[in-house]
């Protein structure tokens, strides 16, 4: 790995420019070698994003001031309280499956990078973001064999362009039960609550943590005992990878939370296809389960050895010049899985790579691919290069996080952001007016949704910043949730690499 050192305004900076990060493209290397972005600022804004996605009664300390209360009667038609939680993206539906994944990733970030997040002054805000989603999941699990998985009619919602505060589309309820199971949704909710338990277990208020763990155990038993795919009981965010990845993922989290041998036995006794996995997403959790199991294997649980081998295959599929690469990078060095909300796969891959590099460093291990051996530092640097790309070190010189840097998306595909705040335009903006007046305009969004990370550029690093191009301009909670941990890891890596400031002559201010 060739590492370049950049000298910028009299401070020696290490730039995370690696031979594996740009496929040997010198121009791309030079684009990336511009000095590190302000990770602390990016982390704070990535977490702030979740306040703009809130549903329900907003608290007095709400920081995204352009938002107001919304969906205050969710669940009433079935006498349950389903208020709160998050709108997943630019629409006004609450999808429990990806919401739970979001909570799991935020919790994982808080667990693995607690010190870095705290150093940035963001641990309290991150915990608040986790609790806002976890509270909803607790309310949605209304009996041992019932989990509400969606609030709102997705088809009707997508036919309207209106602020969440103005919603008049049906708040239809969807749920999984013993008669209509969805093991994926139950398993992911179990994972989310077990991970959240690990975040809150040392608090003085033990009641909340106890509720999280009890519900997590219950949801795992529900999903495992009444096996059935969510694909047959959901209208949106249906699973295509099957349910075993969620059951393995949740059992790994429950073992980490409880050390109960039955969850370790579940990991040891159950095995999925050995075919390579090349994504980690709201649908496919296998790489995440492999990561957690590998940590346990390196901690002495030798019966989980196969998980490390499978995880190494996942990592090799991502790393350029590995000889096993399946996910290619754009000319500018961005991991590119598909031309539709690609950033969700970039951020989740960066999170797994970051956590694995940390685990490898602690154990003194590495990853062997067919063409090369990769050290923990090399893997960490490649993960950081993905964070840096998102924050502006790319061929367009554009940050894909709203409100970060001077150049960022101004016309994101987001209803609440694109229509003036209800605090500015107090009247109701009906469905059709939104479509005719606010969706098609080329004007920037009136509300800057700070921290929102959009779907991202195409495979040639191009981005049109068009509100109507949802696959590239729409943000989503699970993009930001993965980014939080990857960004915190990059911040920690930068601290390790920085040397004391050196008083250099001003004439060197832009040299390499």
SS3 string, 197-262, reads HHHHCCCCCHHHHHHHHHHHHHHHHHHHHCCCCHHHCCCCCCCCCCCHHHHHHHHHHHHHHHCCHH
- Distance of alpha carbon 296 from the chain centroid: 23
pLDDT tens, per residue, the chain with 512 residues: 333 333 232 222 333 344 454 333 433 344 444 578 999 999 999 999 999 999 999 999 999 999 999 999 999 999 999 999 999 999 999 999 999 999 999 999 999 999 999 999 999 999 999 999 999 999 999 999 999 999 999 999 999 999 999 999 999 999 999 999 999 999 999 999 999 999 999 998 899 999 999 999 999 999 999 999 998 778 899 999 999 999 999 999 999 999 999 999 999 999 776 677 889 999 999 999 999 999 999 999 999 999 999 999 999 999 999 999 999 999 999 999 999 999 999 999 999 999 999 999 999 999 999 989 999 999 999 999 999 999 999 999 999 999 999 999 999 999 999 999 999 999 999 999 999 999 999 999 999 999 999 999 999 999 999 999 999 999 999 999 999 999 999 998 877 766 343 332 322 222 22
Active site residue 413: yes
Contacts of 428 (CB under 8 A, 6+ apart): 166
DSSP annotation of 119: H
DSSP annotation of 75: T
Q: Which of 88, 91, 388, 461 is catalytic?
A: 91
Active site residue 141: no
Active site residue 179: no
Q: What CA–CA distance (Å, rounded) separates 202 from 405?
A: 37
Query: 414: which 2 tokens?
Result: 């987001």
CB-facing half-sphere around the CA of 172: CA atoms within 13 A: 11
Active site residue 472: no
Q: Which of 413, 414, 449, 472 is catalytic?
A: 413
- Which helix (H) or strand (E) segment holds residue 361: the answer is helix 343-363
């Amino acid at each position: 790995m060739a590492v370049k050192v950049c000298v910028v305004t009299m401070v020696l900076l290490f730039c995370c420019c690696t031979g594996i990060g740009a496929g040997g493209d010198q121009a791309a290397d030079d684009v990336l070698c511009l000095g590190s972005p302000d990770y602390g600022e990016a982390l704070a804004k990535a977490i702030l994003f979740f306040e703009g996605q809130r549903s329900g009664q907003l608290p007095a300390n709400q920081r995204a001031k352009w938002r107001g209360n919304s969906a205050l009667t969710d669940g009433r038609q079935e006498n349950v309280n389903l208020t709160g939680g998050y709108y997943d993206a630019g629409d006004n539906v609450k999808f429990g499956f990806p919401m739970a994944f979001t909570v799991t990733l935020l919790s994982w970030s808080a667990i693995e990078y607690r010190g870095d997040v705290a150093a940035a002054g963001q641990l309290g805000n991150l915990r608040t973001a986790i609790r806002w989603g976890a509270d909803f999941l607790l309310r949605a699990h209304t009996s041992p064999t019932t989990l509400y998985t969606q609030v709102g009619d997705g088809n009707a919602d997508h036919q309207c362009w209106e602020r969440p505060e103005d919603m008049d589309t049906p708040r239809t309820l969807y749920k999984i039960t013993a008669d209509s199971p969805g093991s994926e949704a139950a398993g992911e909710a179990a994972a989310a609550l077990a991970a959240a338990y690990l975040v809150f277990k040392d608090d003085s208020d033990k009641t909340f943590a106890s509720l999280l763990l009890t519900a997590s155990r219950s949801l795992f038993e529900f999903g495992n005992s009444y096996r059935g795919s969510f694909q047959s009981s959901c209208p949106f965010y249906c699973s295509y990878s099957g349910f075993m990845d969620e059951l393995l993922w949740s059992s790994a989290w429950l073992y980490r939370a409880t050390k109960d041998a039955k969850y370790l036995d579940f990991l040891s006794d159950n095995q999925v296809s050995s075919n390579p996995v090349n994504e980690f997403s709201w649908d496919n959790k296998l790489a995440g389960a492999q990561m957690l199991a590998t940590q346990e294997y390196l901690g002495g649980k030798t019966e989980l050895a196969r998980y490390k081998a499978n995880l190494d295959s996942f990592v090799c599929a991502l790393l350029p010049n590995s000889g096993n690469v399946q996910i290619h990078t754009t000319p500018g060095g961005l991991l590119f899985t598909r031309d539709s909300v690609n950033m969700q796969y970039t951020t989740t891959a960066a999170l797994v790579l970051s956590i694995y590099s940390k685990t490898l460093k602690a154990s003194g291990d590495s990853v062997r691919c067919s063409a090369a051996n990769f050290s923990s530092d090399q893997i960490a640097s490649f993960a950081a290069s993905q964070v840096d790309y998102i924050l502006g070190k790319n061929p367009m010189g554009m940050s894909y996080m709203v409100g970060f840097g001077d150049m960022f998306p101004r016309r994101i595909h987001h209803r609440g952001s694109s229509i003036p705040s209800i605090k500015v335009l107090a009247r109701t903006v009906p469905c059709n007016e939104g479509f005719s007046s606010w969706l098609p305009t080329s004007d920037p969004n009136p509300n800057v949704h700070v921290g929102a990370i959009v779907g991202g550029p195409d495979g040639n690093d191009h981005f049109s910043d068009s509100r109507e191009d949802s696959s590239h301009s729409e943000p989503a909670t699970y993009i930001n949730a993965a980014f939080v941990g990857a960004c915190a890891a990059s911040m920690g890596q930068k601290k390790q690499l920085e040397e004391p400031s050196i008083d250099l002559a001003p004439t060197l201010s832009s040299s390499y």
